[in-house]
Amino acid sequence: MIAIVPDRDELVQHGISVRGHVFWHPTTSQLYEHALARGDARLAEGGPLVVDTGKHTGRSPKDKFIVREPGSEARIWWGDVNVEISEEHYDGLREKVATRLSEGDVYVIDAFAGADPAHRLAVRVITESPWHALFAKTLFIDPTDEELDDMEPQALVLHAPSVSAVPEEDGTCTETFVCLHPSRIEVVIGGTFYAGEIKKSIFTVMNDRLPLDGVFPMHCSANLDDAGRVTVFFGLSGTGKTTLSADPERHLIGDDEHGWSDDGVFNVEGGCYAKVIRLSAEAEPQIYTTTRAFGTVLENVVVDEQGLLDLDDDSKTENTRAAYKLEQIANALPTKRAGHPSSVVFLTADAFGILPPIARLTRDQALYWFLSGFTAKLAGTEIGVTEPQPTFSACFGAPFLPQPPSVYARMLGEKLDAHPRAKVWLVNTGWTGGPFGQGRRMPIDATRTLLDAALSGDLDGVEYRDDPTFGLDVPVAVPGVDSALLDPRSTWSDPEAYDAKAAELARMFRKNFRRFDDVTPGVAAAGPTV
């Protein structure tokens, strides 16, 4: 069956009167042709489309705004994360974007966010750019032809990267803007070609809408083993969320965004958006293969005159990315849905070299570490960063939380209470033997061995020790892993230097946690001691 293609007049309801062509539900090949003809992309060996996002090679969190309006203002977590903008300014920016979209050709992608039909959102993305349309087509869930026939958009993204704001008149900080109107469920984006803004805007929408339906939204990857055991991996960028979930021995549910309902876990997306800088064919074979495939969009990856990729070249950015359909991973779960997690994993890249490679958490500790959302920035990653700096991102995703962190922590606690057999693990994929610059990165083979033992239940009956600073249960010995690695203090050449740095990190944790004054005494006491 061929889906019905709407008339261009359908866009008038969105305030867009297109004078050019309207490309409804374009195919991947069609979008390739248009992007290449416009000079917006290059074709690399193997078939991926390579694009350059210009000066914005990552998200612009300081240019993200939420409209303060009566329908939602009481539930929004206002502050540095969710900066308010007036409806008047929003409407002005929307008009600018709609006007630009009316002037030339536009591409319309209708898709779903959420693999669970009971909790999905029909999303319409309207953009002036064919490769951004391909990105949206790749990252969201394809509807069937029958679903397209009856589809009414519930969320709308108006995307015109060539439009710039005027801060003095538009109420923005710069020429870039990413604005969400919660009650209308609309997003307008301009001033940035970084495609991740489209993806994360809809994730922000889902983080607002799902709790209203009693569904816990999660910034996590997820997979499933042949025995039906589900694992979710929470973590910030660079902690291994995508790499560790793409396990050839397990079925991938998704790599970044999920919901946990009364029926189990479901992927919010239909694709993956993986960092590919220095990607290894040996360590990450499945993701590596996608960088040589038709349909993949590669952002800011260096390609030579012959169309050959250099994944090791960071001259454009460390944040090189690949967007690809979930089905490109050989063992991906077609339904993108599974049961309730038996394991919850918090990933952290501790550049201080203090935390153990794996530890078991109690329920209260789980909520403490979830609210803390700890990882570390490395020296050299930002101007002025000369040594590792702690990053505390509440719920492992603060930039995408429209509501207060306590809302999501409460939902995690309720899920753990409802499924008491689910175990929570803290896994450090960062440094050992000393901080960044002195120690070494945690061996990925050791991390995988430890995870396999934890997820299979092999760590249930082993001996544990109590970490004196962080109060964590740490296994003493695990087959296939050097026991010295399990005791970070013993890997440092100067144990007293380790003690001093551990106390320093503990103080950072305690200082950060002071902002959470509405937790139970048990959660408040579950942090490190100084």
- Residue 2 vs residue 71, higher pLDDT: 71
Please report the beta strands in 28-88, taking only residues with DSSP state E, as ranges in sequence order.
Answer: 41-43, 49-51, 64-67, 83-85
Domain boundary among 154, 180, 212: 212
* Residue 480 CA from chain centroid, whole number: 31
Best CA proximity match to 491, nearest among 449, 448, 428: 428
Instruction: Supply the pLDDT for residue 238.
Output: 80
Residue 407 located in a structural domain: yes
String of DSSP letters for 339-366: --EEEEEEEE--TTS-S-SEEEE-HHHH
pLDDT tens digit sequence for 514-523: 999 889 999 9
**Residue 184, amino acid:** R
The answer to whether residue 468 scores a pLDDT higher than 80 is yes
Instruction: Give the number of other Cβ atoms within 10 Å of residue 274's Cβ.
Output: 24
Say if CB 140 and CB 123 are below 8 A apart.
yes
The answer to whether residue 383 scores a pLDDT higher than 70 is no
Separation between Cα atoms, residue 471 and residue 365, nearest integer Å: 9
Residue 177 located in a structural domain: yes
The mean per-residue pLDDT over the stretch 135-158 comes to: 95
Separation between Cα atoms, residue 87 and residue 90, nearest integer Å: 5
Residue 235 located in a structural domain: no
Catalytic-residue membership of 348? no
Catalytic-residue membership of 256? yes
The answer to whether residue 506 scores a pLDDT higher than 90 is yes
**Among 56, 219, 258, 360, the one annotated catalytic:** 219
pLDDT tens digit sequence for 321-343: 999 999 999 999 999 999 999 99
Q: How many domains does the chain have?
A: 2
**Among 25, 34, 59, 96, the one annotated catalytic:** 59
**Among 241, 251, 325, 489, the one annotated catalytic:** 241
- Scored b (16 or more CB within 10 A) or e, 16-42 reads bebeeebbbbbebeebbebbeeeebbb
Instruction: Supply the pLDDT for residue 248.
Output: 87
Residue 192 located in a structural domain: yes
Instruction: Supply the pLDDT for residue 493.
Output: 95
Domain boundary among 173, 196, 212: 212
Separation between Cα atoms, residue 392 and residue 386, nearest integer Å: 18
CATH number of the domain residue 17 falls in:
3.40.449.10
- If DSSP codes are grouped into helix, strand and coil, which group holds residue 394? helix
Helices (H) and strands (E) in the chain, counts: 14, 30
Domain boundary among 212, 240, 270: 212
The answer to whether residue 463 scores a pLDDT higher than 60 is yes
**Among 242, 342, 372, 469, the one annotated catalytic:** 242
Average pLDDT, the chain: 94
Lowest mean pLDDT among 202-206, 281-285, 302-306, 483-487: 281-285
From first CA to last CA, the distance across the chain in angstroms is 66
- Do 384 and 520 fall into the same domain? yes
Residue 529 located in a structural domain: no
Instruction: Supply the pLDDT for residue 1.
Output: 39
Best CA proximity match to 259, nearest among 173, 343, 340: 340
The mean per-residue pLDDT over the stretch 79-103 comes to: 97
Q: How many residues does the chain have?
A: 530
**Among 56, 124, 181, 200, the one annotated catalytic:** 200
The answer to whether residue 8 scores a pLDDT higher than 80 is no
Separation between Cα atoms, residue 450 and residue 459, nearest integer Å: 9
Catalytic-residue membership of 200? yes
The mean per-residue pLDDT over the stretch 1-9 comes to: 63
- Bridge partners (DSSP) listed for residue 426: 346, 359
Catalytic-residue membership of 460? no
Say if CB 378 and CB 436 are below 8 A apart.
yes
**Among 256, 350, 364, 467, the one annotated catalytic:** 256
The answer to whether residue 39 scores a pLDDT higher than 80 is yes
Instruction: Supply the pLDDT for residue 469.
Output: 96
Residue 357 located in a structural domain: yes
Can you read off the two tokens belonging to residue 168? 């003095």
Residue 255 located in a structural domain: no
pLDDT tens digit sequence for 358-382: 999 999 999 999 999 999 875 434 4
Record the pTM.
Answer: 0.94
pLDDT tens digit sequence for 207-231: 999 999 999 999 999 999 999 999 9
Residue 12 belongs to domain spanning: 8-38+60-212
How many angstroms separate the Cα of 382 from the Cα of each of 56, 314, 317? 15, 14, 11
pLDDT tens digit sequence for 411-428: 999 999 999 999 999 999
Separation between Cα atoms, residue 503 and residue 497, nearest integer Å: 10
Separation between Cα atoms, residue 485 and residue 427, nearest integer Å: 13
**Among 119, 199, 258, 321, the one annotated catalytic:** 321
Containing H/E element for 199? helix 196-212
How many angstroms separate the Cα of 68 from the Cα of each of 14, 181, 190? 21, 8, 19
Catalytic-residue membership of 241? yes
Residue 51 located in a structural domain: no
Instruction: Supply the pLDDT for residue 376.
Output: 87
Instruction: Supply the pLDDT for residue 387.
Output: 60
**Among 28, 99, 164, 237, the one annotated catalytic:** 237
SS (H, E, C) 126-160: EECCHHHHHHHHHHCECCCHHHHHHCCCCEEEEEE
The mean per-residue pLDDT over the stretch 71-88 comes to: 97
Instruction: Supply the pLDDT for residue 202.
Output: 98
The mean per-residue pLDDT over the stretch 232-251 comes to: 90
Instruction: Supply the pLDDT for residue 4.
Output: 59
Catalytic-residue membership of 321? yes
CATH number of the domain residue 453 falls in:
3.90.228.20
How many angstroms separate the Cα of 32 from the Cα of each of 2, 5, 40, 181, 222? 21, 20, 10, 32, 30
Instruction: Supply the pLDDT for residue 5.
Output: 65
The answer to whether residue 144 scores a pLDDT higher than 60 is yes
pLDDT tens digit sequence for 264-277: 999 999 999 999 99
Catalytic-residue membership of 219? yes
Say if CB 298 and CB 320 are below 8 A apart.
yes
